[in-house]
Amino acid sequence: MRVAFAADHGGAALKDELLVRLRAQAGPDELIDLGGDGSDPTDDYPDFAVRLGGAIQRNEADRGVLVCGSGVGASVAASKMTGIRAAVCHDTYSAHQGVEHDDLNVLCLGGRIVAIELALEIVRAYLGATFSNLPRHRRRVDKVRAIEAAERQR
Ligand code: RB5
């Protein structure tokens, strides 16, 4: 799986540490760092949401991990993008169930909320999960897509 990572200044330290730790494990996933480097304290989380969401939309990545200070702004911004299903998950159950039931494709984390060990477990739970494809879950995700399509018509 190709997994893109991006973060604003509030999330860059956690994003960088996640990449270091995940790369050290030499797992099966291709990890793509889309920045930022945290050097600009005035950078804005929507810009990183667009960068990461765009990579998924262009099929340059399969899933994303987007980090800001709380994870909230990142999830609000990324979920505005067509085909992006983003959520803040600060526990492992939500991280895997979000994929299994809701086809979550962008995991959002708060770099000021979770420390590296918990964040790693959350990311592993997220990357290890697959969409269940059960009819009731497909139906619900299809209804989410219908909301998106209706919004485009307005
Ligand atoms: C940046 O200071 C902070 O507001 C942002 O990273 C994020 O937490 C927004 O939800």
To which CATH superfamily is domain 3-153 assigned?
Answer: Sugar-phosphate isomerase, RpiB/LacA/LacB (3.40.1400.10)
Q: Is 13's C-beta closer than 6 angstroms to any atom of ligand 1?
A: no
Neighbours of 102 (CB within 10 A): 17
Instruction: Say yes or no to pLDDT of 80 above 80.
Output: yes
Neighbours of 30 (CB within 10 A): 11
In tens, the pLDDT along 48-65 reads 999 999 999 999 999 999
In tens, the pLDDT along 6-57 reads 999 999 999 999 999 999 987 878 999 999 999 999 999 999 999 999 999 9
Give the domain ranges of the chain. 3-153
Q: Is 72's C-beta closer than 6 angstroms to any atom of ligand 1?
A: yes
Cβ(9)–Cβ(38) below 8 Å = yes
- Residue 89 a catalytic site member: no
Model pTM score: 0.97
Residue nearest to atom 7 of ligand 1 (CA): 69
**Which tokens is 50 given?**
């667009």
Q: Distance between CA atoms of 130 and 90, rounded to whole angstroms? A: 18
3-state secondary structure of 74: helix
Region of residue 87 (phi > 0: left; psi between -120 and 50: alpha; otherwise: beta): beta
pLDDT value, residue 27 = 80
Ligand 1 centroid vs 109 CA: distance in angstroms? 11
Q: Is 69's C-beta closer than 6 angstroms to any atom of ligand 1?
A: yes
